[in-house]
Structure 1
Amino acid sequence: MCKGLGGIVSPFNNNFGFSMKTTADYDEKMLYPEELEFLSLKAVQKRRSEFCIGRSAAHSALSKIDINKFPILKGANNEPIWPPGIVGAISHSGEIALAAVARKENAAGIGLDVEMVDETVSMDIIKLICTIREAEWVVARKEQSLERLLMVFSAKESAFKAFFPLMNEYISYLEFELIWHEATRQFEGRLLTNIRAGYGEGYTFEVGCKKFAQYVYTFMSLPPV
């Protein structure tokens, strides 16, 4: 089913480990016994496949920064628990999963998200995830409004994954604002509130956004503390 899909080139520098897996790579034998414990016997096949290829992508990404044979368990917020001194992110949608990791000496946090463009996106969520300024950008071009909403949603997913290790909790979609720059295919992000020391109101960051086949994916990293 994924034949000919190809792959995504890492959007990060060489200090980061990055990997993409597809449903064609699905094999529960790739999982460690500790990881399998998080899969309910009642889990539907789609859920099993997503979890499996996501963990497989994470294992592959870790191997690229010379970390091997480390099971990726789940935390209290369902976040992946990385090896000590490592930050990372996993995302899956449709037939693919992406993972990126780095040592904390190279990044304080990593954001990564992938969304399938042809999945149903409802404009009803605009008030839940967009500031007034973001919403104005989303609807400025009616023919692109759903794709733009998906871009904002994905970028915000990436951002709160990146900030998570700094707080051990997810920030709200409305605690930061994104401004799109077409020339660089990046969102400029700005915190609208103080989340912790060193990351106060007005702190800025960048979220890249690219297309791949029928997917949109976003990515970012925070400078090491």
Structure 2
Amino acid sequence: MFTAITTGSMLPFIRSFEVGTITSLPGLRYCLINFDIRCYQDALFTYFAIPFPQTLSAAVVKRRAEYIAVRYAAKILLRTAGCNNTPGIGQDRAPVWPSGWCGSLSHTDGHAIALVSPQEADLIPGVDIETFSSLTIRQTANLFSSLDEQALLADSGIDYEIALLVTFSAKESLFKALYPEVRYFFGVEAARVCKIDILHQRITLELTQTLTQNRKKGSQIAGYYVMRDNQVITLFE
């Protein structure tokens, strides 16, 4: 799913970064970063020329490190396309993208990923990255999946716990993709898994409720998933 073009590091905080394109969507670029929270310091905001938002004033170190890591990932992508701005944060905590651009951000346990696309490409990027934990995924399965979905996942040909994590992550990605259009918060019950294609690493979600005039109940939306190391990454476009 990912085609790397550039790799590098900016030690000690940025252990490594990978920049490239989505194989089947050349208009969508990604940057995946591995960062070390132990090396975080507020001075990194000045070093990376990323504005420090007021909303982080009372935030813990973990939150600050995640914010700057994922914004730096987006900054790399925007800068290579000729845009020197960085996505900010709105009152709803959603990213605010520079004019002419759209994208999606996600982070988990020392990893951050950004997707960026020019608005003229007419894509709706949504990405999520999750760290796999067998115990956590089994304990929380009923919070984001129905018994019917669990039966489908058990018969999908993927390890059941991995399939559960893919499902959770896909619903997170779908929310991020649709939120700029829907403009209100909707839960994981708004969509259900109806198909997983192992060969092409595709997952299809069906809306269980109407979100907008163009996003009606029964509409199906296909996304991608991939397992890298101990993380699952899903995306919709």
Same fold (TM over 0.5): yes
Q: 1:83 aligns with which of 83, 92, 98?
A: 98
Q: What is the SS of the residue equivalent to 1:121?
A: helix
Partner of 1:14: 26
Question: RMSD of the alignment, in Å?
Answer: 2.8
Q: Deviations over 1:129-156 (max 9, x none)?
A: 1133212234559x93332221111111
C-alpha displacement of 1:6: 7.0
Q: Write 1 or 2 for the structure with the bigger share of strand.
A: 2
2:9 — aligned with what?
none
C-alpha distance in structure 2 between counterparts of 1:119 and 1:132, whole Å? 18
Measured after TM superposition, the shift of residue 4 of structure 1 is 8.6
Tell me whether 1:32 sits opposite 2:50 in the alignment: yes
Q: State the Cα deviation string for residues 10-60 of structure 1 (Å, max 9, x = none).
A: 326332232122215963321423x343322x5333222211111101111
1:189 matched to 2:205:
yes
**Would you say the 8 A contact 2:17–2:31 is kept in 1?**
no
Please show how residues 35-184 of structure 1 align to structure 2 within 5 Å. Answer: 35-40=52-57, 42-68=58-84, 70-118=85-133, 121-139=136-154, 144-178=159-193, 179-184=195-200
- Give yes or no for contact 1:109–1:164 (8 Å, CA) kept in 2: no
1:38 partner SS? helix
Specify whether residues 98 and 193 from structure 1 end up closer, same or farther in structure 2 by C-alpha distance, changes over 3 A only.
Answer: same
Aligned length: 217
SS across alignment from 2:22: coil
* Corresponding residue SS for 2:121: coil
Residue 74 of structure 1 and its aligned partner are, at CA, apart by 1.3
* TM-score, normalising length: structure 2: 0.79
Contact 1:108 1:165 in 2 (8 A): no
TM-score by length of 1: 0.83
Q: Give the Cα separation in 2 of the matches to 1:176 and 1:108.
A: 20
Q: Which runs of 5+ in 2 are unaligned?
A: 1-11
Distance in 1 between the 2:163 and 2:122 partners?
28
Equivalent pair of 1:163/1:171 in contact (CA under 8 Å): no
The CA distance in 1 between the partners of 2:160 and 2:18, in whole Å, is 27
Runs of 4+ with >6 A deviation? 1-6
* Alignment deviations for residues 165-201 of structure 1 (CA, whole Å, 9 cap, x no partner): 1012233211111221212111012212211122212
Determine what percentage of the aligned residue pairs are the same residue: 22
Q: Which amino acid aligns with 2:83?
A: I
Q: Could you tell me which amino acid in structure 2 is paired with residue 146 of structure 1?
A: E
Q: For the structure 1 residues 6 and 21, does the alpha-carbon distance in structure 2 shift closer, same or farther, using more than 3 Å as the test?
A: closer
Distance 1:19 1:80 in 2: 16
Tell me, in whole angstroms, the C-alpha distance in 2 between the residues paired with 1:194 and 1:220. Answer: 18
Query: Higher RCO, 1 or 2 (CA under 8 Å, sep at least 6)?
Result: 1
- The CA distance in 1 between the partners of 2:49 and 2:55, in whole Å, is 11
Partner of 1:212: 228
SS of 1:61's equivalent in the other structure is: helix
Change (3 A) 1:71 1:211: same
